[in-house]
Amino acid sequence: MKDPLPSEPQPPSRPRPWLHEVIPPLVLGTATFNTQYVPDPFDLPAASIVSRALDLGVTAFDTSPYYGPSETILGNALAHPSVTSRHSRSSYFLVTKAGRIAGDEFDYSPEWIRYSVYRSLERLHTPYLDLVYTHDVEFVSPAEVLAAVRELRRLRDEEGLIRYVGISGYPVGKLCDLAEMILRETGEPLDAVLSYGHFTIQNTTLGNADNAMRRFQDAGVDVVLNASMLGMGLLTTRGADAGPMSSWHPSPEGLRQACQDLVPVAVDADEKLEVVAIRWALDNWAVAGAVRGSGASRLPAGTRVGVSVMGISNIAELEETYRVFNSVLEGLEPDSPDAELMSRRQWSRDRRVKVQAVVEKMWAVLGKWRDYSWNSPGPGFVNTRKAEDIGVTPDDGVLARHKPKLIVQVSTEQVPALL
């Protein structure tokens, strides 16, 4: 994949590429670098995972301060000599989020957003962030989302700390509403929208071309990303109840049982549920999400591929995810006179047909639970951040260490006079 961007922040007077021109089509999610997924995330071989990902060409990483120690672990891995000796900052695409502090605690004030970005820069050992989302936007008011997006854009334009700005969350309709509102109120569309759990074998709402994708396109959103292809553990052999999310997974019991009923369907086809779920989502989002996808793949120039975020916690998972996604791309490549290449591409296309047949049987089993979305936030949600604490940031030296930098804008007419 091509080098995304130069290593130093660009002043706003220099036009930026479209996000779809620089974001890789496969993003490594690091929510798994967290106690919600593993007993001690600091025991993970993070430097080896990151180094191997970059060697394979998986050059985008997604994290958040809400994911416990994830930012710190990822940042330390990226700063490890085994990585820095072979990979420059400009060789990878770094994504984080801001605004969500804890499970029921949110602060979207400009002061907190600014603090959060500065802290992320330190944790990730980077002078800039390629993309920052406001995290789980459905839990706060549209006015708060708008204020947070404006602050992120200010950090982009005045301080050069961010390249692209987006929003993330669960309810697709709410994400559409907010994307439309932000364009209407600011005159500038969002660079990205991240949705999770809404393009899976259980729920394909995000891929509705006549609704969600059309609305995002009309709102000018450049890239729409699909995350949580396993429904936060719903679409696994062990199920959500036996997984790391069991204590707080928001799905109702009926949906959990319906997803477990898919396990024997997979077994009858000599498959595993999670293998089918991942292959189907990667394969189909590559096509369904292409209109708002990445143009930075090995496919012919001008071809876009839906962008997927895949969480992994070890090198074996990484290599398997890469293998599957590489096969997906092979199935999309044009025909070639090379017999070996054509054989691989045909295998990928045949695999897609087989998986689709299995998933159609699963849809029949899901019945009323197909395309079901739970409420987010749930009934009775209250932001536990006290009103008097909104905008109050820790006295930990982060703000003092990040005094705003003035970016001088120079017009092209002035350049000759300065030479």
**Contacts for 363 with CB less than 8 Å, ≥ 6 apart:** 201, 370
Compute the distance between CA of residue 175 and CA of residue 170 in angstroms, rounded to an integer. 8
Band of the pLDDT at 340, cuts 50, 70, 90? confident
Q: Is residue 403 part of a domain?
A: no
Q: What is the pLDDT of residues 109-148, one digit of tens each?
A: 999 999 999 999 999 999 999 999 999 999 999 999 999 9
| Annotation says 108 is catalytic | no
Say whether pLDDT at 164 is over 60.
yes
Q: Is residue 176 part of a domain?
A: yes
Q: Is residue 7 part of a domain?
A: no
CA-wise closest residue to 320 among 282, 266, 367, 285 = 282
* Cis check: omega of the bond before 377, within 30 degrees of 0: yes
- Please report how the helices 339-366 and 253-260 are oriented relative to each other, as an axis angle in degrees rounded to 10: 130
Compute the distance between CA of residue 213 and CA of residue 58 in angstroms, rounded to an integer. 26
Check: CB of residue 235 under 8 Å from CB of residue 265.
no
What pLDDT score was predicted for residue 405?
58
Band of the pLDDT at 271, cuts 50, 70, 90? very high
Q: Is residue 413 part of a domain?
A: no
Band of the pLDDT at 354, cuts 50, 70, 90? very high
> How large a percentage of the chain has pLDDT more than 90?
84
Q: What is the pLDDT of residues 8-50, one digit of tens each?
A: 334 344 468 999 999 999 999 999 998 877 788 888 999 999 9
Band of the pLDDT at 6, cuts 50, 70, 90? very low
Q: Is residue 377 part of a domain?
A: no
Q: Is residue 257 part of a domain?
A: yes
Band of the pLDDT at 173, cuts 50, 70, 90? very high
Say whether pLDDT at 327 is over 60.
yes
Give the distance from CA 399 to its chain's centroid.
Answer: 27
Domain enclosing residue 70, as ranges: 19-370
Q: Is residue 335 part of a domain?
A: yes
What pLDDT score was predicted for residue 158?
96
Across all residues in the chain, what is the average pLDDT? Answer: 92
As for how many domains the chain has, the answer is 1
- Counting DSSP H helices and E strands in the chain, the numbers are 14, 10
The active-site residue, picked from 37, 67, 108, 128, is 67
Hey, what amino acid is at 34?
N
Q: Is residue 12 part of a domain?
A: no
Instruction: Give the CATH number of the domain where residue 193 resides.
Output: 3.20.20.100
Q: Model's pTM, two decimal places?
A: 0.91
